[in-house]
Amino acid sequence: MSRAPAPNADNQSLHGETAARRQAITELLFFASVGDLYRCKKIALGWGLNLRDPNTADYDKRTPLHLAAAEGSYSAVSWLLQQGCDVNPVDRFQRTPLEDAVRGDHGEISTLLIQAGGKVVGKGGELIDLADSPLSGNVRIFTDYDPEWEVQFLGAVTKTEPYMIVTEYMPGGSLTDIFRTSKKLTIWRAVQLALDCARGLAYLHSRSPQAVIHRDLKPANMMLGGHKIYNSHHKALCLDTSGASNAHPPMDISVGSASGVNANGDLNPAYKMTGETGSYRYMAPEVFRHEPYNNKVDVYSFAMICYQLFECVPPFWWQDPIEAARGAAMQHKRPTWGAVNRAKVVVPPRIKALVERCWHKDYEVRPEFEDIIEELEEISLSIQPTLDTYGTANVKDSGGSSQKDPKSRECCSVQ
């Protein structure tokens, strides 16, 4: 966005601000509503806007936080709160950002605002907690026991065959279905899907009293909650954990973890593999070798799925799955970046480095999902999609540069 020319004394607004400055505020409000952090930051910095000033709003006293919350722009809400914006500004309609988020059914944003002290306006005009408001039942609030990646359980068949678990309908199918279509994912959207997966696994690995290891991560087990995943800013991915998932105590890595012996010198039976769990292309080397394993097997499988998300081909696509797993386990082979390049994919180096840490041959080197989430969130902000003057997609890579060719940022499908 080009900066407007310096105004003169004849174009003062009703609030004593220059018309150009008022236009800058208007554009800030718009880009906050669509979650375009790059332009929000550019406008705020270029015009020296005080985001804490209640006059940084429209004529209805609706602030950038109001609009971001109302439109479900999580990244913008998070950034505005980090900038110290008032969490409870009240507009002309006696609404706070929290009420806008609730009315828009944006549970994650509602949770974020509540954690920052967000309230709603009561009947007497005072600020009250959402729990004390008639709006309290209008949105799902996410807590440690109500995570964003949880699939709603509806019922089960346990007494007659076929046994089954009934969950909410996931109309988007799975990542496997996406890979089989001709539709394309941008690098930024692929990062969002990777984030969803990482958050779900972090939740499983942090369960108490025993962590849950998925053990069967593959695109077919990553379910999509809607058809708008190609351009939506909302979370869309859930993990199917009804197959090989199991609860395990943490491996005692201080006592012979490399050989899988416990304190008594015996092989820990909790970490013996049958050879039937997991899909071979995504299987951790220690699993293929029938060695003791821990939660880091999920990190390896996650890396292989990320490779397919960003590189647009399955890992070791040219090999039989068992041969691929054998090469990874016995010869420490890993997929090659850019070997096919069907869609001229440009994967940022920071993404490559993270994926390579996740598929490291030494599971102790592989990061925990909490660290993966932090890294992916930073990457997501650094490649936030924007539009230039001509409507061409710009995506900033992790080094801060921009690339204008939209095809260079797309992820192709794999038949």
Structure tokens at 396: 């900033």
- Is the preceding omega at residue 162 within 30 degrees of 0, hence cis? yes
| pLDDT surpasses 90 at 171 | no
Neighbours of 4 (CB within 10 A): 13
Q: Report pLDDT for 345.
A: 65
Give the pLDDT mean for 235-256. 49
Cβ atoms 187, 310 nearer than 8 A:
yes
Angle between helix 187-205 and 369-382 (nearest 10)? 160
Give the integer Cα–Cα distance in Å for 21 and 3. 10
Cβ atoms 355, 303 nearer than 8 A:
yes
Q: 18: which strand partners?
A: 12
| pLDDT surpasses 90 at 302 | yes
207 vs 268, higher pLDDT: 207
Q: Report pLDDT for 221.
A: 83
Of 127, 32, 14, give the one whose Cα is nearest residue 81: 32
| pLDDT surpasses 50 at 267 | no
| pLDDT surpasses 50 at 268 | no
Q: Report pLDDT for 250.
A: 43
What pLDDT, in 10s, does the model give residues 325-341? 999 999 999 999 987 65
Give the pLDDT mean for 237-250. 54
Q: Report pLDDT for 210.
A: 78
Give the pLDDT mean for 255-281. 44
| pLDDT surpasses 90 at 144 | no
In 3-state terms, what secondary structure has residue 169? coil
Phi and psi, residue 200, nearest 5° = -65, -40
Give the integer Cα–Cα distance in Å for 196 and 222. 10
Q: Report pLDDT for 237.
A: 64
Q: Report pLDDT for 14.
A: 41
**Which residues form the catalytic set?**
216
Q: What is the DSSP letter of 343?
A: T
| pLDDT surpasses 80 at 358 | yes
| pLDDT surpasses 60 at 248 | no
